[in-house]
Structure 1
Amino acid sequence: MKNPDWLKRAAERSTVEPGMLGNVFGTYQVLEDCTAEALAEELGCTLDTLNLLALCRRPEGDAFIEQVKDICRRFDVTPSALVSVLRRVEVMDALDTDASNGETSSDRGPLLLAAKDRPRDGGRKP
């Protein structure tokens, strides 16, 4: 059964809501220059499942691990893959905040450029 059209629109809207996984996924896609399809593959799920995941609250606080396990159990996603995405975004957010002296940059400025400065094949530049 195909998910309704509203699901894709709701997942897209979640990218601007800071407490949602959709926001994490949107940031990750920009940082890694990847598509939703590539992110879904990395998480080991379908696009429809990725859209459902986007509507979940972002795991945080003392219950982080339990929240991740609950989400992964519900949507049949590998916990290590989800944690990897979450931590990558957290690290870049922390660096972004440090770089702007406590003010989070909305366009990610030089950090985004640095993230995109490596070759797509994973090799090193000369």
Structure 2
Amino acid sequence: MSRVLVTGAASGLGRAMAARFAAAGAQVLLTDVDEEAGKAAAAAENAAFLPLDVRDEAAWQRAREWVEREWGGLDVLVNNAGVAAAGRIEAVSAEDWTWITEINLLSAVRGCRVFVPLFKG
């Protein structure tokens, strides 16, 4: 049975992917910054939930500790969390661009940095 962690899994594409993995018999850990929605999504899929701010390296470490403690490892990491901002490029603030980059790009880097060594065993 596969052990799967999905980020941004409280809604949208992340929730749909988590549901598909669960339906296929995988053990699934849903993660999200939205604790209430994440817990509800996990309950609906008979899965686990862990709060995870993908911008936070320590939160990624806690997620790795969780999968090692509870499952003995991880088979699939789905770096799904993402955000969007609307507006003309010159109208979007530098702070918003930093926020977007932190979540859409650097979070995937952080997730891989934490979990790839576990995959390599």
**TM-score when scaled to structure 2?**
0.36
Write 1 or 2 for the structure with the bigger share of strand: 2
Q: Which has the higher contact order (CA 8 A, sep 6+)?
A: 2
**TM-score when scaled to structure 1?**
0.35
